[in-house]
């Protein structure tokens, strides 16, 4: 048989496919992909099992499978296939539609008593609502959009109890200090030198959201909208439904990357926000770098302490940072971190967060049966008393692709704006074209300003002090 030398691009693809296969084999048995790594003691605040593995759950929203499937060398793209409760213009068997829903409403604010009914969103997950107009295939919206939008699976949903934190802590500070005390009692924290620091961490890692068997709820594809809304305070429920309405009804998405706006802290966990991660480890600093439309950088300052004066704990000036500021400590080859001083923002199809957002994150090594390092388990607990009614958790895995002596170097991203919100809709603008442009208030929810100016003139928005309905 004649052998052919693979091109650079093909070689990279083959290596990635091999890495995916290795990850699936490593994580496949009952040690579910989402589970935190096994530790040899019962911790007060890390390593708790995930109540339900999202990989065992079906997608919620209407979609077309196979349209965006990864296809390796020598493989054929699968035939596109509709996956949903009912095609565009139809209704699922046994389901009675509501008299008004997000696709037919003229004022979603007035419908707030319906928001906790999945039928208000036609049982579509948050990410599916933004896909219906063409993100996967345009016929999902039907011949008379938005009225004819397709339905998702009303019977599918990832359970709320698997999303909320399993730990008793009310704040990130309380959680971090408890883990530090626990580690101290066990003889730590570990004071690594260049000779002892786990240098095997250093290298290139696959994007966790793109690894089969490593999906997690924040992809916003396995959740009914009311389940996510139940995690949020009244104001932030309204904010999320506002974005869902302008995805599903007006087809006027305002995404950060299309305008070269900042991406924000929680986009680190979002499905398509970045591809490969580049991790460098030293005794005093661990850096995580990645990007697609923007550069994401996390600098973990090992052994430092926060200044507790000001609005929130911080390292530098009393000014929120897009990705916050992070301190941490080692427990052997596990890194425990606390991030604070985060700028409130949003990730499209997910909920907004406030300047009060803080996290405790635990990075633990994953090893194969022979003890070889294959990647990192990343457990994150999110605290935001302004946006969240209780803390939530995401558990995922980073699969290591190679050291830095292989693969492509990181390509620094420089976003050049070519899309502008003209009459409230993202519009491509050619060089030399003259337009009227309103400078956005980047700290005043610029996306909401656009929606309210162009699409909500006749709606009755609640007053700032008006209570929005509760899920209690």
The full DSSP string for 229-287 is HTTB-HHHHHHHHHHHHHHHTS-----TGGGT----GGGGGSTTSBS-EEEEE-SSEEE
Q: CA Rg, the chain, in Å?
A: 23
Q: Quote the distance between the C-alpha of residue 201 and its chain's center.
A: 23
What pLDDT sits at residue 274? 80
What pLDDT sits at residue 75? 60
- The pLDDT of 139-148, averaged and rounded, is 94
Please give the Cα distance from 32 to 56 (Å, whole number): 9
What pLDDT sits at residue 77? 63
pLDDT of residue 317 exceeding 90, the answer is yes
What pLDDT sits at residue 18? 41
Per-residue pLDDT of 3-15, as tens digits, reads: 333 233 333 433 4
What pLDDT sits at residue 72? 54
Are the beta carbons of 39 and 47 closer than 8 angstroms? yes
- The pLDDT of 341-368, averaged and rounded, is 96
Measuring CA to CA, how many Å separate 179 from each of 45, 114, 199, 361?
A: 6, 41, 23, 11
Least confident of 131-135, 162-166, 263-267, 315-319: 131-135
What pLDDT sits at residue 253? 96
- The pLDDT of 152-168, averaged and rounded, is 98
- Provide the mean pLDDT of the chain: 88
pLDDT of residue 28 exceeding 70, the answer is no
DSSP lists the bridge partners of residue 402 as: 204
What pLDDT sits at residue 137? 52
pLDDT of residue 467 exceeding 80, the answer is no
What pLDDT sits at residue 80? 80
- The pLDDT of 142-167, averaged and rounded, is 97
List of residues 6+ apart from 457 with CB closer than 8 A: none
pLDDT of residue 67 exceeding 80, the answer is no
Residue 387 per-residue DSSP state: T
pLDDT range class, residue 79, cuts 50, 70, 90: confident
C-beta atoms surrounding 333 within 10 Å: 17
Query: Sign (positive/negative) of CA torsion 79, 292, 60, 91?
Result: negative
What pLDDT sits at residue 133? 92
Residue 130 belongs to what H/E stretch?
Answer: helix 126-131
Please give the Cα distance from 124 to 118 (Å, whole number): 8
Please give the Cα distance from 266 to 76 (Å, whole number): 35
What pLDDT sits at residue 6? 29
What pLDDT sits at residue 25? 41
C-beta atoms surrounding 134 within 10 Å: 12
Per-residue pLDDT of 275-288, as tens digits, reads: 899 999 999 999 99
Please give the Cα distance from 390 to 232 (Å, whole number): 8
pLDDT of residue 301 exceeding 80, the answer is yes
Please give the Cα distance from 241 to 124 (Å, whole number): 13
What pLDDT sits at residue 8? 39
Residue 342 per-residue DSSP state: B
Beta-strand pair 419-422/425-428: antiparallel
Of residues 447 and 81, more confidently modeled: 447
pLDDT range class, residue 129, cuts 50, 70, 90: very high
Per-residue pLDDT of 89-118, as tens digits, reads: 999 999 999 999 999 999 999 999 999 999
């Amino acid at each position: 048989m004649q052998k052919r030398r693979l091109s650079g691009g093909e070689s990279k693809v083959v290596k990635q496919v091999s890495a995916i296969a290795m990850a699936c084999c490593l994580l496949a048995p009952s040690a579910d992909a989402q589970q935190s790594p096994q530790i040899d003691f019962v911790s007060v605040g890390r390593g708790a099992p995930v109540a339900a593995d999202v990989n065992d759950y079906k997608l919620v929203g209407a979609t077309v499978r196979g349209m965006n499937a990864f296809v390796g060398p020598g493989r054929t793209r699968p035939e596109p296939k509709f996956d949903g409760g009912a095609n565009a213009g139809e209704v699922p068997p046994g389901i009675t539609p509501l008299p008004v829903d997000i696709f037919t409403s003229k004022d979603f604010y007035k419908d707030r008593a319906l928001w906790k009914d999945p039928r208000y969103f036609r049982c579509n997950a948050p990410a599916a609502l933004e896909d219906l107009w063409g993100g996967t295939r345009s016929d999902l919206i039907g011949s008379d959009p938005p009225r004819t939008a397709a339905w998702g699976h009303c019977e599918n949903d990832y359970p709320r109890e698997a999303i909320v934190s399993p730990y008793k802590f009310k704040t990130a500070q309380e959680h971090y200090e408890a883990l530090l005390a626990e580690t101290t009692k066990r003889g730590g924290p570990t004071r690594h030198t260049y000779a002892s620091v786990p240098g095997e961490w250093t290298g290139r890692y696959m994007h966790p959201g793109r690894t089969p068997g490593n999906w997690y709820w924040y992809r916003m594809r396995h959740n009914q909208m009311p389940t996510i809304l139940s995690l949020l305070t009244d104001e932030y429920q309204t904010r999320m439904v506002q974005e869902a309405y302008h995805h599903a009804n007006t087809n006027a998405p305002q995404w950060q990357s299309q305008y070269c706006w900042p991406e924000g802290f929680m986009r680190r966990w979002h499905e398509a926000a970045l591809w490969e991660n580049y991790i460098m480890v030293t005794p005093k600093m661990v850096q995580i770098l990645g990007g697609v439309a923007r550069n994401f950088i996390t600098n973990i300052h090992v052994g430092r302490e926060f200044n507790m004066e000001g609005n929130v704990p911080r390292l530098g000036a009393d000014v929120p940072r897009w990705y916050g500021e992070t301190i941490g400590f080692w427990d052997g080859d596990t890194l425990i971190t606390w991030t604070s001083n985060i700028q409130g923002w949003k990730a499209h199809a997910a909920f907004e967060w406030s300047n009060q957002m803080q996290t405790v994150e635990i990075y633990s090594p994953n090893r194969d049966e022979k003890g070889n390092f294959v990647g990192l388990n990343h457990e994150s607990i999110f605290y935001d008393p302004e946006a969240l009614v209780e803390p939530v958790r995401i558990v995922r895995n980073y699969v290591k692709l190679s050291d830095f002596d292989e693969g492509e170097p990181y390509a620094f991203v420089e976003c050049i704006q070519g899309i502008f919100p003209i009459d409230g809709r993202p519009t491509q603008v050619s060089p030399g074209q003259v337009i009227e442009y309103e400078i956005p208030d980047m700290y005043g929810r610029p996306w909401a300003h656009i929606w309210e100016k162009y699409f909500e003139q006749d709606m009755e928005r609640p007053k700032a002090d008006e209570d929005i309905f509760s899920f209690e």
